[in-house]
Structure 1
Amino acid sequence: MNQGKMRNSREDRVRYMAIVDDIRVDIKSGRLNEGDRIPSQSQLMARYTVTRQTVQKAVAALVAEGLLITRVGAGAYVRGFNPIVRHNLVSPDDPHAVHTNSDTETTLDVDLDLSPPPTVVAALSLNNGDPALRHHRRVTTDGRTVRLATSWYPHDRGASVVGSCAFADRHAADGRNADRRHQPVRSRETVRCRMPDTAERDALSLSPGTPVAEITRHTYDEAGRCIEVHEIVLDGSAHLLVYELPLEPLREPTSDTQTVGVNCDRG
């Protein structure tokens, strides 16, 4: 590469970053608000003296950051956030949670998963080759799919009614098994933010650069056995998860209470 091409490459890089930085600052400072259209490609080309390719590269970077969305033939806009808010969450599907939007849940299928994921096999303590009852559903708000959910249950909990939609719907409605020996007593959730795979992006109709939140809940009975693995994939641009956790009051130490101190002084 000759000196002229190297210099041009460095200049393009500087101008490309200038476009990205300037638009990012305009969004974060409020000069550009949610839903505002940014200057057209032609306007940015003239303002920064760059090629159309450089402008497109800058816009793509801002889309990947989640700051912009693009509309075919209409330009690029500041991404808006009109969240589905859920309060007092044990999980996004908690029937006691406060919903500010009207959700509709649709069962896609209820079947025997003959090859459940290894994580499900381990959590439910299944033997290799054991099936699991699987309940897959889709949740829509105002006609748009915003959440995908899949639950797995040990096959032996509902052997007589495996494949029954009524059985699975009863789980979805109140989280209870007909066998009272396996009443849920506690659950544990993990939340992971990531980019969606192709199937999730298509199912949730996600714009480029939109992340998803993956919530995995394990529910346990009194014996400590995991009786449900529940995986939820949420549209990251459509949800605000609000967890309110009760705190126990601090107890005054008694003579029977041991106080453990940590000495951070290594000297």
Structure 2
Amino acid sequence: MGSGPAYQRVADEIRAAILSGELAQGDRMPSLPELATRFGVTTTVAHNAVNVLRGEGLVVTRQGAGAYVRRFERIRRSSPGRLARSHWGQGRAIQDHDTGVRARVLGVVVGEVPAPEYVAAALGVDSGTAVLSRARRFEVDGRPVQLATSYLPLELVRGTAITYTDTGPGGAYARLAELGFAPVRFVERLTDRAPNQQEREQLALSSGAGARVIEITRFAYDGSDRCVEVTRMVLDATAYELEYEFLA
């Protein structure tokens, strides 16, 4: 192996094996002890090398099943197009704008929860007031990529399709529009951080220090400039590319 940190040199050799086809799509990667023996390094170095390749989309990990070769194409999350009324107003899901025809699995849990302080402040209710929670977990091409939880005022959505796991064509924004509270303005705040333990497990992230997520908090405002929804999203930073287009 050449110069540079040991984990990077191991990653370079494994990458070459993947790109040459020696390690093919879907192949199970050697275990960390096997990699350590093969390259004469510690299992920690081998672990860090696999994390590099995972960040490049060349390897995916499956909790309890090891790591596999998979050429994962980063998801381009393009704003503001994904939030345009011309998109969800035509019955299309926001995620369709991001992933197109790629295989996507969505898990949804809906219920009433006490509003966290940042949600209560935005929605104009007291902290701890019951609000509707819509928690989702997204998988794309078999890989967990995003967690998202939306919070909406109960007085707006109680008894509507927004309280169902399937909100219907166009999602919650289309249903809000039908109720007279169509979002017309959005604000998003982004933070890069390390995942917590629950996020590591749900997104099948590495337990190492190098794992990162992008936290995005979105506020949706209607025509009266009332905040009608707050959504907090946690994205696997290695799975996404964020694109923003705006006029000068």
Using the size of structure 1 for normalisation, the TM-score is: 0.62
Per the TM alignment, residue 161 of structure 1 is displaced from its structure 2 partner at its CA by 4.0
Residues 148 and 233 of structure 1 are in contact (CA less than 8 Å); yes or no, is this contact kept in structure 2?
yes
Over the aligned positions, Cα root-mean-square deviation in angstroms equals 4.1
After TM superposition, give the deviation of residue 20 of structure 1 in Å.
4.3
Structure 2 residue aligned with 1:218: 219
Amino acid at match of 2:231: H
Q: Map of 1:222-261 to 2, 5 A cutoff?
A: 222-245=223-246, 247=247
User: What letter corresponds to residue 230 of structure 2 in structure 1?
Assistant: V
Q: If you compute each CA radius of gyration, which structure gives the higher value, 1 or 2?
A: 1
Shift in Å, 1:220: 0.8
For the 8 Å contact 1:88–1:97, the answer to whether it is kept is no
| Secondary structure at 2:46 match in 1 | helix
Deviation at 1:179, TM superposition (A): 2.3
Please show how residues 8-157 of structure 1 align to structure 2 within 5 Å: 18-20=5-7, 22-23=9-10, 26=12, 40-45=35-40, 55-62=42-49, 66=55, 81-90=72-81, 94=94, 97=97, 99-104=99-104, 106-113=106-113, 115-157=114-156
Identity value in percent: 30
SS at match of 2:139: strand
- How far residue 169 of structure 1 moved from its aligned partner, in angstroms, is 4.8
Contact in 1 for aligned 2:117/2:128 (Cα 8 Å): no
SS of structure 1 residue aligned to 2:129? coil
Partner of 1:197: 196
- Following superposition, the deviation at residue 137 of structure 1 comes to 1.9
- The Cα shift of 1:88 comes to 4.7
Q: Which runs of 5+ in 1 are unaligned?
A: 1-16, 46-53, 249-267
Counterpart code for 1:155: L
Q: Secondary structure at the match of 2:42?
A: helix
Report deviation, 1:130.
Answer: 1.5
Deviations 1:3-34 (A, max 9, x none): xxxxxxxxxxxxxx85246557x58xx86876
AA at the equivalent of 1:241:
L
Distance 1:69 1:169, change over 3 A: same
User: What is the deviation of 1:238?
Assistant: 2.2
Return closer, same or farther for 1:89/1:151 CA change in 2, 3 Å cut-off.
Answer: same
CA separation of 1:160 and 1:76: change in aligned 2, threshold 3 A: closer
CA distance in 1 between counterparts of 2:36 and 2:142 reads 33
SS at 2:201's partner residue?
A: helix
| Aligned partner letter, 2:144 | T
1:188 aligns with 2:187: yes
Give the letter aligned to residue 85 of structure 1: R
Q: Is the 8 A contact 1:139 1:147 kept in 2?
A: yes
Instruction: Confirm or deny: 8 A CA contact 1:107 1:135 kept in the other structure.
Output: no
Whole-angstrom CA distance in 1 between matches of 2:131 and 2:141 = 32
The DSSP-based 3-state class of the residue aligned with 1:223 is coil
Q: One-letter code of the match for 1:116?
A: A
Seen in structure 2, the aligned counterparts of structure 1 residues 240 and 110 have a Cα distance that, compared at 3 Å, is: same
User: Could you tell me whether the CA contact under 8 Å between 2:10 and 2:39 is conserved in 1?
Assistant: no
What do residues 171-201 of structure 1 show as CA deviations (whole Å, max 9, x unaligned)?
7354441321x22110011222222222222
| Segment of structure 1 superposing worse, 221-230 or 171-180 | 171-180
Paired residues, number:
217
TM-superposed deviation, 1:134: 0.9
Residue 171 of structure 2 is matched in structure 1 by: 172
Partner Cα distance (1:117, 1:186) in 2:
22
Amino acid at match of 2:217: T
